[in-house]
Amino acid sequence: MAQQQAYMTETANGGSGPESRGDRLRRLFDRFLGDWRGDRQIWRRGIVVAACAVLLAVVMVLHSRIPNTIGNLGSLIETFLPWLGLFIPVLLLVAVVRKSATALIVVLLPAMVWLNLFGGQVSDKTATGGDLTVATHNVNADNPDPAGTARDVAASGADVVALEELTADAVPTYERALDSTYPYHSVQGTVGLWSKYPLTGVRAVDIDLGWTRAMRATVTAPAGQVAVYVAHLPSVRVKLEAGFTARQRDRSADFLGEAIAHEPLKNVVLLGDLNGTMNDRALNAVTSQMRSTQGAAGNGFGFSWPASFPMARIDQIMVRGLKPESSWTLPQTPSDHLPVAARVSVATGG
């Protein structure tokens, strides 16, 4: 009887009994909701927040319909499209502060759209195996340590390495640093290709610039021949008076896409700085016929620029006729880009 009385007293005073735990949870729930209960405005408040959530979802779903006629706005949004997801927790927080049930429910819409678009990229899709490891790096024309940069990229273990933004003065330094590992190489204009396997069919590729920033070569790997393209498309700029200026890059992408479309070999790899992401419709001439190794076999978004705080994947490794097995970014060098690498299967590609 005394034990029962003590238990009832403990429970009444907020002890550890089942009823007291339920009371504590109820009190926490009530504290969280505050005056939401019985509030007739709970569904009427937060209409502006809900409208912003709908607009965010529409922008993500219909990003390809946003016109480029004014400052290439569509391409600008597509370049940083994954980052639109940062607005979702902000809208969620405002909905909670505003105590709006309507806004809380509607914010689920852009959350589901973002997960549908990018949820697969945040998962680890890497696999073992692969016949060929490739890497690409925009080394930066003002790189203060080209020899060290070359050694860092070679340390990735890549069989084939592409370098962009090479200057005539720095080329001999890169050659000396890489030739012991890569006995075959060719430099065409400001881009170069180093390989452990023989190179044939080497030529510059015209991307309508008036000087050479793209090349093509056949790499005869043990698993088979692979056509390797190296490209550095023109830079883009964001200006208040002109918006996202990318007309020259877009035209060069069309020329590059045309060259790849006429490539006779089945297995094709594109390495380089395209100054654009896979989401940017302006690069459709290239992206429509090739797949990104990062999207197919990466772990995360693999942002490569700027190196100090990567926000976009503009350094690309794309394939046609090959199976991506793994894709990753390499440690930072003195360049303003991160090197990127990928491992692909040649024998099982198709």
What pLDDT was estimated at residue 4? 52
DSSP state of 190: T
- Contact in structure between 229 and 216 (CB atoms under 8 Å): yes
Written as one string, the DSSP assignment of 226-277 is: EEEEEEEPPP-EEETTTEEE-HHHHHHHHHHHHHHHT--SS-EEEEEE-SS-
The model's pLDDT over 68-108, given as tens digits with 9 standing for 90+, comes to: 887 788 998 999 999 999 999 999 999 999 889 999 999 99
pTM reported for the whole predicted model: 0.85
The model's pLDDT over 261-310, given as tens digits with 9 standing for 90+, comes to: 999 999 999 999 999 999 999 999 999 999 999 999 999 999 999 999 99
Burial of 214 (0-12, 13-18, 19+ CB in 10 A): buried
Calculate the average pLDDT of the chain. 89
How far apart, in whole angstroms, are the C-alpha atoms of residue 70 and residue 340?
Answer: 33
The model's pLDDT over 170-185, given as tens digits with 9 standing for 90+, comes to: 999 999 999 999 999 9
